């Protein structure tokens, strides 16, 4: 899927933007990510709030490394590379290992 087809809607919010994508999560709503003025992407802590019980999985660390992402303050996942497709792949993989698709 190209980046152009991945983006459903962009909303400006403060110094950044909210990107509503055509990608869906385990409960079939659009995956939303945020991008600040420097291009860093984040999930606003969504995955941690949904899957806190499975968060201590060492597979999460491997996924973060694979997609060059990291966990920052308030358990927010960040991608400094700014690659939306890779970031969505990272979020989807984490959701999968934390139990999102098995529920």
pLDDT in tens, 18-32: 999 999 988 888 999
How much is the average pLDDT of 62-67?
96
pLDDT band at residue 73 under the 50/70/90 scheme? confident
pLDDT at 52: 81
pTM, two decimals, is 0.88
- % the chain with pLDDT above 90: 61
DSSP-derived secondary structure for the chain = --HHHHEEEEEEETTEEEEEEEEE-TTSSEEEEEE-TT--EE-TTHHHHHHGGGTT-HHHHHHHHHTT-EE-GGG-EEETT--HHHHHHHHHHHHHHTTTTT-
């Amino acid at each position: 899927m190209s980046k152009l087809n991945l983006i459903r809607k962009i909303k400006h919010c403060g110094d950044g933007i909210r990107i509503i994508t055509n990608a869906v999560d385990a409960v079939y709503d659009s995956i939303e990510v945020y991008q600040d003025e420097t291009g860093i992407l984040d999930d606003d802590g969504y995955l941690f709030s949904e899957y806190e019980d499975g968060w201590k999985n060492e597979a999460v660390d491997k996924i973060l490394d694979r997609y060059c992402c990291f966990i920052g303050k308030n358990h927010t996942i960040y991608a400094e590379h700014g690659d939306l497709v890779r970031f969505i792949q990272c979020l989807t993989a984490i959701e999968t290992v934390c139990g999102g698709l098995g529920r």
